Amino acid sequence: MVNDQIVNSKWLRHVGYGFGDMSSSMFWKVFSYYLPFFYSNIFGLSLKDAGIILLVTRIWDAVSDPMMGILADRTQTRWGKYRPYLLFVAPLFSIAGILLFTTPDWGYTAKLVWAYATYILMMTVYTGINVPYGAMLGVMTEDSQEKTVYSSFRMFFAYGGSFLALFLWEPLCNALGGYNTPQGWFWAMVVIASACFVLFICCFALTREELKTVSTVSIGSDFKALLSNKPWWILIGAALCFNLFCTVRGATVAYYFADIIPAGATLNFQLGDFFQLSTFNFQLLFYAGLFLAIGEVSNMIGVALCVPIAARFGKKTTFIAVNIALCVLSVLFFFIPVSQTGFWLMLLAQILISMLTGVMSPLVWSMYADVSDYAEQKYKTASTGLIFSSSSMAQKFGGAIGGSAALWLLAACGYISNQPSAISTQPDSALLCLRCLMSFIPAAVSIIAVLVVSFYPLTTARMKEIDAQLKIQRNEKM
């Protein structure tokens, strides 16, 4: 195990904490962006059944997430309350991901049952490791601004992991059996799952819990305080919208590139005349993985910008401004033509949108930590795990609703799945639906997010008051 003196380095702890969401995000982005396509075009489910799976399994999450939060809040070990779950759940996390992308050679009904079972298993294990991991943010430091720094490291590494997973996914599938075969998807997930296991072990080794919080009230009192927590309700709504925005766009990309972008489309580079050099031509294949991976790199830039922007303007103001910009850019995406110039404009829009969502991600997690401090100060209960479990639930519900809605809308518009040359067979209604799923629908979600967060009361000034009061409360308990 890593020596405690080494881990005392604050920078190393920041990096170690980032490894945890690097692992989670490698799985989460593959699930969010490729699982709907996998179910309908590789596994062999209908769009309707695939959409139902993504949504119905969230009913279990509504129970398992708060249960995990309560359990973690009441865990006491020599490693802390939340950290030991990183060590013991990591192997199950990787195994469940591999099972999820396993396609048994069974009849349709048996395969449907397998899909339900493995998806519920994966989301349960994801809860078992991600809720405690998220709650760690509340006990690694008591400083609100430092939590934003931890959250920024977390999201920077998360997007780094997402970039690797998304950029390599299609090449891995092709190299390990073929992108259009179940074997290719299975072995690609084995590679990703192995990397995720190592990252969670590193996260456990490099982090420490500094604050010793104890829940001294009953479970019923914790729930009562949670349901009375106005900032929590507002943030749940805002976070749900943010996750819905990301998932609707992300889940549509694989279909968009299969049916809107011509097969073999390239990004053409021409250097020479402007620099008075000999002309140099270069072509880069324009495919879904590249589009998504460049978005993840842009997310990382946004994460780096989050701390100075939030410190300058405040978290609430930053949240509102970013969502307005997301709305504008999403609407503009609809009008981009399918042409060589249009491909570059699509990529530019993806970069700008992803930079903005990169700012949003650590901001939301930091706001959850503020809500946790607000709850501890007002209700005298250390329910960090329960509050952060709600963030996991919002993430899952946003992903489920986004993925299901995309599939059902495509089905309603006549989308034809499992077509080897779908670009020539899709009806105009399905193509229009795909374009709206990348533009007007996410734009509408952004506007809803702005309206919701306008009621959020935990401003920078209010959090300074809460931090000061919490220090007094915690000192009195010592």
Q: Locate 179 and state its tokens.
A: 């992108």
pLDDT in tens, 318-337: 999 999 999 999 999 999 99
pLDDT of residue 478 exceeding 60 = no
- Structure-token match 């100060």, residue found: 377
Region 66-78: mean pLDDT is 84
Region 381-407: mean pLDDT is 74
Q: Locate 328 and state its tokens.
A: 């504008």
- Please give the angle made by the CA atoms of 375, 380 and 384, to the nearest 5 degrees: 45
> Which of these ranges, 114-128, 175-189, 308-322, 362-376, has the smallest mean pLDDT?
362-376
CA–CA gap between residue 384 and residue 215 (Å, rounded): 9
pTM (whole model) above 0.75: no
CA–CA gap between residue 195 and residue 205 (Å, rounded): 16
SS3 of 478, please?
coil
CA–CA gap between residue 145 and residue 475 (Å, rounded): 20
Best-predicted range by mean pLDDT among 31-35, 68-72, 126-130? Answer: 126-130
DSSP 322-338: HHHHHHHHHHHHHT--S
pLDDT in tens, 49-67: 988 887 887 777 777 878 8
More confident residue, 216 or 114: 114
CA dihedral 433, 437, 440, 446 (to 10 degrees): 160
Region 29-44: mean pLDDT is 88
Farthest-apart Cα atoms in the chain, separation: 75
CA–CA gap between residue 410 and residue 429 (Å, rounded): 9
pLDDT of residue 187 exceeding 80 = yes
Give me the pLDDT at residue 272, please.
55
24: β partners? none
pLDDT in tens, 409-465: 999 999 987 655 444 578 999 999 999 999 999 999 999 999 999 999 998 889 888
CA–CA gap between residue 250 and residue 245 (Å, rounded): 9
- Structure-token match 């308990």, residue found: 477
Q: How many C-beta neighbours within 10 Å does residue 449 have?
A: 26
Contact 60, 120 (CB under 8 A): yes
Reference 260, options 229, 291, 283, 234; nearest CA is 291
- Angle at which helices 47-56 and 108-135 pack, to 10 degrees? 30
Domains of the chain: 9-211+218-472 (1.20.1250.20)
CA–CA gap between residue 154 and residue 160 (Å, rounded): 10
Residue 176: pLDDT band (50, 70, 90) is very high
Give the CA distances from residue 370 to residues 135, 228, 465, 466, in Å, rounded to whole numbers and listed in that order: 12, 16, 12, 9
Q: Locate 468 and state its tokens.
A: 């000061």
Average pLDDT, the chain: 85
pLDDT of residue 285 exceeding 80 = no
Give me the pLDDT at residue 216, please.
57
pLDDT of residue 383 exceeding 70 = no
Contact 159, 21 (CB under 8 A): no
Residue 275: pLDDT band (50, 70, 90) is very low
Q: Locate 330 and state its tokens.
A: 């999403």
Burial environment of residue 477 by CB neighbours within 10 A (0 to 12, 13 to 18, 19 or more)? exposed
Give me the pLDDT at residue 354, please.
95
Give me the pLDDT at residue 377, please.
84
- Structure-token match 């799985």, residue found: 27
Rg value, the chain, Cα: 22
DSSP state of 266: E
Give me the pLDDT at residue 28, please.
84
CB neighbour burial string for 411-424, b if at least 16 within 10 angstroms, e if fewer: bebebebeeeebee
Give me the pLDDT at residue 263, please.
75
SS3 of 272, please?
coil
pLDDT of residue 90 exceeding 90 = yes
Region 350-379: mean pLDDT is 88
282: β partners? 269
Give me the pLDDT at residue 274, please.
44
More confident residue, 272 or 112: 112
DSSP 121-167: HHHHHHHHHHHHHHHGGGTS-S-HHHHHHHHHHHHHHHHHHHHHHHH
- Structure-token match 């059996």, residue found: 177
Contact 25, 161 (CB under 8 A): yes
> Which of these ranges, 60-64, 125-129, 286-290, has the smallest mean pLDDT?
60-64
Phi (first) and psi of residue 380, to 5 degrees: 60, 40
